[in-house]
Amino acid sequence: MEKIYDQISIEAIEKLAEIVRSSDLSEITIENGDSKVTVKGRKSTPPAPAIPFAMPAMAAQTAAPVQDGGAVSAEAPQQSSGNVVKSPIVGTFYAAPAPDKAPFVRIGDTVKKGDVIMIIESMKLMNEIQSEFDGTVKEILVSDGQAVEFEQPVMIIE
Protein backbone atom coordinates (compact mmCIF):
# COMPACT_ATOMS: atom_id res chain seq x y z
CA MET A 1 0.00 0.00 0.00
CA GLU A 2 1.56 3.26 -1.14
CA LYS A 3 1.53 6.08 1.39
CA ILE A 4 1.05 9.74 0.61
CA TYR A 5 2.18 12.37 3.07
CA ASP A 6 3.45 9.55 5.31
CA GLN A 7 -0.04 8.85 6.66
CA ILE A 8 -2.82 8.77 4.01
CA SER A 9 -2.90 6.07 1.30
CA ILE A 10 -4.03 6.36 -2.31
CA GLU A 11 -6.72 3.80 -1.55
CA ALA A 12 -8.04 6.05 1.22
CA ILE A 13 -8.15 9.00 -1.19
CA GLU A 14 -9.95 6.88 -3.80
CA LYS A 15 -12.50 5.85 -1.17
CA LEU A 16 -12.99 9.50 -0.22
CA ALA A 17 -13.55 10.36 -3.89
CA GLU A 18 -16.14 7.58 -4.14
CA ILE A 19 -17.89 8.86 -1.01
CA VAL A 20 -18.02 12.37 -2.46
CA ARG A 21 -19.35 11.06 -5.78
CA SER A 22 -21.96 8.69 -4.33
CA SER A 23 -23.13 11.06 -1.57
CA ASP A 24 -23.47 14.09 -3.86
CA LEU A 25 -21.12 16.08 -1.62
CA SER A 26 -19.25 19.10 -2.90
CA GLU A 27 -16.12 18.25 -0.91
CA ILE A 28 -14.69 16.27 2.00
CA THR A 29 -11.53 16.93 4.04
CA ILE A 30 -9.61 14.37 6.09
CA GLU A 31 -6.81 15.17 8.50
CA ASN A 32 -4.49 12.58 9.94
CA GLY A 33 -1.65 13.96 12.01
CA ASP A 34 0.18 16.55 9.93
CA SER A 35 -1.44 15.34 6.71
CA LYS A 36 -4.59 16.87 5.26
CA VAL A 37 -6.40 15.86 2.07
CA THR A 38 -9.41 17.57 0.52
CA VAL A 39 -11.37 15.83 -2.23
CA LYS A 40 -13.69 18.08 -4.19
CA GLY A 41 -16.55 16.79 -6.29
CA ARG A 42 -18.72 18.54 -8.82
CA LYS A 43 -20.22 21.73 -7.57
CA SER A 44 -23.82 21.14 -6.70
CA THR A 45 -26.28 23.51 -8.27
CA PRO A 46 -28.11 25.78 -5.84
CA PRO A 47 -31.85 25.22 -5.47
CA ALA A 48 -34.03 27.18 -7.85
CA PRO A 49 -35.41 30.41 -6.38
CA ALA A 50 -38.93 30.26 -5.06
CA ILE A 51 -41.51 31.59 -7.47
CA PRO A 52 -44.07 33.88 -5.84
CA PHE A 53 -47.47 32.26 -5.84
CA ALA A 54 -50.39 33.85 -7.66
CA MET A 55 -52.93 35.47 -5.35
CA PRO A 56 -56.53 34.44 -6.07
CA ALA A 57 -58.51 37.22 -7.76
CA MET A 58 -61.09 37.14 -4.94
CA ALA A 59 -58.51 38.50 -2.46
CA ALA A 60 -58.64 41.99 -4.00
CA GLN A 61 -62.41 42.03 -3.75
CA THR A 62 -62.56 40.85 -0.13
CA ALA A 63 -60.03 43.34 1.25
CA ALA A 64 -61.49 45.46 4.04
CA PRO A 65 -61.84 49.18 3.30
CA VAL A 66 -59.30 51.36 5.10
CA GLN A 67 -59.79 55.07 5.73
CA ASP A 68 -57.41 57.90 4.66
CA GLY A 69 -53.72 56.96 4.11
CA GLY A 70 -53.59 54.10 1.66
CA ALA A 71 -57.35 53.72 1.46
CA VAL A 72 -58.51 50.46 -0.04
CA SER A 73 -61.75 49.93 -1.89
CA ALA A 74 -63.59 46.62 -2.01
CA GLU A 75 -65.34 47.58 -5.27
CA ALA A 76 -64.42 45.88 -8.50
CA PRO A 77 -62.51 48.20 -10.87
CA GLN A 78 -65.06 47.69 -13.67
CA GLN A 79 -67.54 49.82 -11.65
CA SER A 80 -65.17 52.79 -11.57
CA SER A 81 -64.43 55.27 -14.29
CA GLY A 82 -60.84 56.28 -14.93
CA ASN A 83 -57.56 54.68 -15.92
CA VAL A 84 -56.83 51.33 -14.30
CA VAL A 85 -53.23 50.86 -13.13
CA LYS A 86 -52.36 47.16 -13.27
CA SER A 87 -49.46 45.32 -11.68
CA PRO A 88 -46.77 44.75 -14.32
CA ILE A 89 -45.40 41.72 -12.43
CA VAL A 90 -46.33 39.12 -9.81
CA GLY A 91 -45.20 40.22 -6.38
CA THR A 92 -46.09 42.10 -3.21
CA PHE A 93 -47.63 45.59 -3.29
CA TYR A 94 -46.10 48.27 -1.07
CA ALA A 95 -47.68 51.72 -0.86
CA ALA A 96 -44.59 53.36 0.72
CA PRO A 97 -40.82 53.20 0.19
CA ALA A 98 -40.37 51.90 3.78
CA PRO A 99 -42.67 50.94 6.67
CA ASP A 100 -41.90 54.19 8.52
CA LYS A 101 -42.33 56.43 5.43
CA ALA A 102 -45.44 58.11 3.99
CA PRO A 103 -47.21 56.35 1.08
CA PHE A 104 -46.23 57.37 -2.45
CA VAL A 105 -49.87 58.34 -3.13
CA ARG A 106 -53.16 58.53 -1.27
CA ILE A 107 -56.72 58.76 -2.54
CA GLY A 108 -57.25 62.29 -3.82
CA ASP A 109 -53.56 62.94 -4.64
CA THR A 110 -52.71 64.35 -8.06
CA VAL A 111 -50.13 62.37 -10.04
CA LYS A 112 -48.30 63.01 -13.27
CA LYS A 113 -47.09 60.48 -15.80
CA GLY A 114 -43.74 59.15 -14.57
CA ASP A 115 -44.39 59.71 -10.83
CA VAL A 116 -43.58 56.68 -8.63
CA ILE A 117 -46.92 55.49 -7.24
CA MET A 118 -46.03 52.13 -5.63
CA ILE A 119 -43.45 49.39 -5.22
CA ILE A 120 -43.96 45.80 -6.29
CA GLU A 121 -41.48 43.44 -4.64
CA SER A 122 -40.70 40.41 -6.76
CA MET A 123 -37.99 37.85 -6.01
CA LYS A 124 -36.53 40.16 -3.35
CA LEU A 125 -36.19 43.06 -5.81
CA MET A 126 -38.04 46.30 -5.09
CA ASN A 127 -39.52 47.58 -8.37
CA GLU A 128 -40.68 51.21 -8.37
CA ILE A 129 -43.79 51.47 -10.51
CA GLN A 130 -44.41 54.77 -12.28
CA SER A 131 -47.76 56.19 -13.28
CA GLU A 132 -48.66 55.91 -16.94
CA PHE A 133 -51.36 58.56 -16.51
CA ASP A 134 -51.86 62.15 -15.35
CA GLY A 135 -54.77 62.57 -12.97
CA THR A 136 -56.11 62.10 -9.47
CA VAL A 137 -55.92 58.85 -7.50
CA LYS A 138 -59.55 57.75 -7.15
CA GLU A 139 -59.10 54.27 -5.63
CA ILE A 140 -56.39 51.95 -4.32
CA LEU A 141 -57.70 48.42 -4.84
CA VAL A 142 -55.20 46.42 -2.76
CA SER A 143 -53.83 46.77 0.75
CA ASP A 144 -50.20 47.35 1.71
CA GLY A 145 -48.25 44.08 1.81
CA GLN A 146 -50.81 42.18 -0.27
CA ALA A 147 -49.68 39.76 -2.98
CA VAL A 148 -50.66 40.83 -6.50
CA GLU A 149 -50.85 38.96 -9.78
CA PHE A 150 -49.58 40.04 -13.19
CA GLU A 151 -52.08 42.48 -14.74
CA GLN A 152 -54.15 42.64 -11.52
CA PRO A 153 -55.84 46.06 -11.12
CA VAL A 154 -54.13 47.93 -8.28
CA MET A 155 -55.21 51.55 -8.60
CA ILE A 156 -57.69 53.83 -10.43
CA ILE A 157 -56.51 57.25 -11.66
CA GLU A 158 -59.07 59.71 -13.10
Compute the distance between CA of residue 130 and CA of residue 37 in angstroms, rounded to an integer.
56
122-142 pLDDT, tens per residue? 998 999 999 999 999 999 999
**DSSP 8-state class, residue 154:** E
- The pLDDT value recorded for residue 10 is 75
Compute the distance between CA of residue 59 and CA of residue 155 in angstroms, rounded to an integer.
15
User: CA nearest 87: which of 57, 62, 64, 109?
Assistant: 57
pTM of the model: 0.51
Single-letter amino acid, residue 114? G
Confidence of residue 68 (pLDDT cuts 50, 70, 90): very low
User: CA nearest 83: which of 153, 132, 156, 139?
Assistant: 156
Compute the distance between CA of residue 68 and CA of residue 71 in angstroms, rounded to an integer.
5
